């Protein structure tokens, strides 16, 4: 019999004489064995904290506390068991009662396989626990049913979506120990098992897949290629025979992965784009953590099939291989399914590894254009160039200036490119837009522009600035530009003459039609690009002032004539009288 004293003192906790029953069926051979008695006690679980650690519950009421489980960063894979011990003291009518309640806690710690790993080995940690994920003690009863025995749980997390298979191996030491293994996917569906023949009554016959004290299970991480099933896979370990010469029996875990990249599943296939008559070649990389032999399979599409051969791939290595699918010449444009299947000698009987493709047959070139500025435009400064490229399966749109790539886009649409013409020489330039789709179809469109960032020359050579003029004045000027738009002469802001080409010109200005004073003569030359040149002078006119002076001078002369006649007459009379 047992009592609560057993938790503190094993001697006080045992009454009577313990009896161990040993039965050796079907044989009279002497078997030596050693009896070991172990005492286990509760130990403080540092991973669980309680808040609060004490509380008071009112009569007819309730109270809450929070238990937090913190998994240490270096915790090994496995199932961990603990208990929350609740000591309750209840007082009823001045009588006090004490009860002890144990709340079970079970935590599953997974083994995340690094994405870059092909093989991962876990050795038993150096600890001592009654329920140890890496040690078994033969605690099972052959007189009971099948599920009796010593079970262990390994939880393995697959994180790399290119993983197509995983092999989990369990190694032990005892020659006659036998561990059955069961593999469960993230939905807890059994996907593989290695079991020993069952005699009934809880008894098994020794058997492993390898014939040695180790066994393995296969985990199809992409069943039928439907999806890349990353997540936590579970391996159940069932001790059905125990050697007994090694105690406890350590279990070593090794995970070896098979990866295929790129990965194509039914819900996320590999898209391939081709034209009718194309040979589509895809390159795959098969990486493995174990030796693979006889890797081969086939590809199927358009109602046709092609063989695929990879051969042998060594452990912890990768092998590239090509799969070529011939697109029929007379196939119509459209979307077609395809599949690649691979098998290897190491896989148990079952479906192969599937890779799904979606082949898009496209024989239509993209639609591209540069629509602004117009072809043949004369440009200066910074100009927005507007273009478009459209295709249902566009790969890229490229814009070139004089055969130099200046812009690229990886989607369909309208685009704008800011062209700074000042960074290029004046003269003729071309811009071309190319459109490429994923099937290899292409189209292009080219426009030509003239860059002109040089203004015309313009100058007034006559009359002389700041001089005073009357009457008709000849204005001499010239303007030059290879792309001249117009040349305009202004007097006091009003246009008086206009030409549309380069050259030297004269304009006769009738100053009498303008008032006396300062006048501005301005020459403006503008080319087709919009560059402008100006020249301006100021001159003065005095037509009114000159007329007044002339009239005044004429009056003096007219007034002096009578006096001159009288003077002559007086002189004549005086002479005669003499």
The secondary structure of 161-207 as a DSSP string is: TTEEEEEEEEE-S-TT-EEEEEEE-TT--EEEEE-PPEEETTEE---
Quick check: is 212 in a domain? yes
Interacting residues of 348 by C-beta distance below 8 A, sequence separation 6+: 192, 218
Do residues 193 and 292 lie in contact, with contact meaning Cβ atoms separated by under 8 Å? Answer: no
Dist CA 285 CA 358 (whole Å): 19
CA–CA dist 97, 100 (Å, integer):
10
Partner residues linked to 322 by β-bridges:
283
Closest CA to 186 of 151, 152, 159: 159
pLDDT of residue 143: 65
Note the pLDDT of residue 2: 33
Cβ atoms of 271 and 279 within 8 Å: the answer is no
Choose one of 416, 451, 486: the last residue of a domain: 451
Which of 356, 358, 383, 361 lies closest to 370 in space, CA to CA?
A: 383
Flag residues of the chain having pLDDT under 50. Answer: 1-8, 560, 564, 570, 574, 578
Q: Are 414 and 421 in contact (CB under 8 A)?
A: no
Backbone angles phi, psi at 242, to 5 degrees: -130, 125
Mapped to the 3 state alphabet, what secondary structure does 398-461 carry? EEEECCEEEEEECCCEEEEEEEEHHHCCCEEEEEEEEEEECCCCEEEEEEEEEECCCCCEEEEE
Q: Are 389 and 523 in a shared domain? A: no
CATH code of the domain containing 493: 2.60.40.10
Specify the residue for token string 């293994």: 181
> Which pLDDT score, from 0 to 100, does residue 6 have?
40
Asked if the structure places residue 173 within a domain, the reply is yes
Distance from C-alpha of 356 to C-alpha of 325, rounded to nearest angstrom? 13
What's the number of domains the chain is made of? Answer: 5
Is there a single domain that holds both residue 145 and residue 173?
yes
Which residue among 258, 284, 308 closes a domain?
Answer: 258
pLDDT at 423: 95
Contact 385, 353 (CB under 8 A): no
- From 395, 419, 451, the end of a domain falls on 451
Supply the pTM of this predicted model: 0.74
């Amino acid at each position: 019999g047992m009592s609560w004293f057993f938790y503190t003192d094993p001697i006080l906790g045992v009454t009577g004489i313990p009896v161990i029953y040993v039965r050796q069926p079907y044989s009279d051979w002497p078997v030596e064995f050693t009896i070991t008695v172990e005492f286990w006690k509760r130990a403080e679980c540092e991973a669980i904290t309680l808040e609060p650690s004490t509380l008071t519950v009112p009569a007819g009421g309730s109270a809450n506390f929070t238990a937090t489980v913190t998994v240490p960063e270096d915790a090994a894979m496995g199932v961990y068991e603990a208990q929350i011990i609740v000591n309750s003291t209840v007082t009823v009518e001045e009588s006090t009662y004490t009860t002890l309640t144990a709340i079970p806690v079970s935590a599953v710690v997974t083994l995340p396989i690094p994405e870059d790993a092909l093989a991962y080995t876990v050795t038993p940690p150096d600890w001592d626990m009654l329920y140890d994920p890496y040690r078994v003690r033969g605690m099972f009863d052959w007189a009971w049913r099948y599920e009796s025995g010593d079970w262990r749980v390994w939880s393995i997390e697959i994180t790399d979506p290119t993983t197509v298979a995983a092999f989990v191996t369990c190694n032990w030491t005892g020659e006659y120990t036998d561990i059955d293994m069961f593999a469960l996917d993230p939905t807890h569906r059994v996907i593989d098992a290695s079991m020993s023949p069952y005699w009934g009554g809880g008894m098994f016959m020794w058997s492993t897949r390898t014939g040695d004290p180790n066994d393995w299970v296969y985990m199809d991480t992409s069943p039928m290629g439907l999806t890349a099933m990353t997540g936590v896979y579970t391996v159940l370990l069932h001790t059905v025979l125990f050697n007994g010469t090694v105690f406890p029996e350590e279990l070593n875990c090794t995970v070896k992965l098979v990866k295929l990249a790129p990965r194509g599943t039914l819900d996320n296939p590999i898209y391939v784009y081709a034209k009718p008559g194309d040979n589509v070649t895809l390159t795959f990389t098969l990486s493995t953590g174990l030796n693979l032999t006889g890797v081969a399979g086939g590809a199927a599409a358009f109602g046709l099939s092609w063989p695929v051969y990879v051969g042998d791939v060594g452990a912890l290595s990768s092998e590239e291989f090509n799969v070529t699918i011939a697109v029929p010449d007379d196939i119509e444009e459209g979307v077609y399914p395809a599949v690649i299947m691979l098998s290897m000698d190491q896989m148990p009987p079952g479906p192969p590894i599937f890779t799904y493709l979606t082949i898009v047959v496209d024989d239509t070139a993209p639609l591209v254009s540069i629509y602004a500025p117009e072809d043949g435009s004369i440009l200066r400064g910074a100009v927005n160039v507007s273009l478009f490229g459209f295709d249902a399966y566009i790969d890229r749109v490229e814009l070139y200036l004089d055969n130099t790539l200046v812009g690229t886009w990886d989607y369909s649409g309208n685009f704008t490119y800011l062209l700074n013409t000042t960074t290029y020489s004046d003269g003729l330039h071309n811009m071309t837009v190319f459109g490429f789709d994923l099937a290899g179809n292409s189209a292009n469109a080219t426009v030509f522009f003239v860059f002109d960032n040089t203004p015309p020359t313009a100058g007034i050579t006559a009359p002389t600035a700041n001089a005073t003029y009357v009457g008709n004045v000849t204005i001499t000027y010239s303007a030059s530009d290879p792309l001249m738009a117009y040349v305009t002469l202004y007097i006091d802001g009003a246009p008086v003459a206009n030409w549309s080409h380069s050259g030297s010109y004269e304009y006769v200005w009738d100053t009498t039609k303008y008032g006396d004073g300062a006048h501005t003569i301005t020459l403006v030359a503008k080319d087709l690009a919009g560059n402008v040149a100006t020249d301006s002078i100021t001159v003065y006119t005095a037509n009114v002032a000159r007329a007044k002076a002339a009239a005044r001078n004429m009056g003096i002369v007219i007034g002096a004539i009578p006096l001159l006649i009288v003077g002559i007459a007086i002189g004549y009379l005086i002479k005669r009288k003499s």
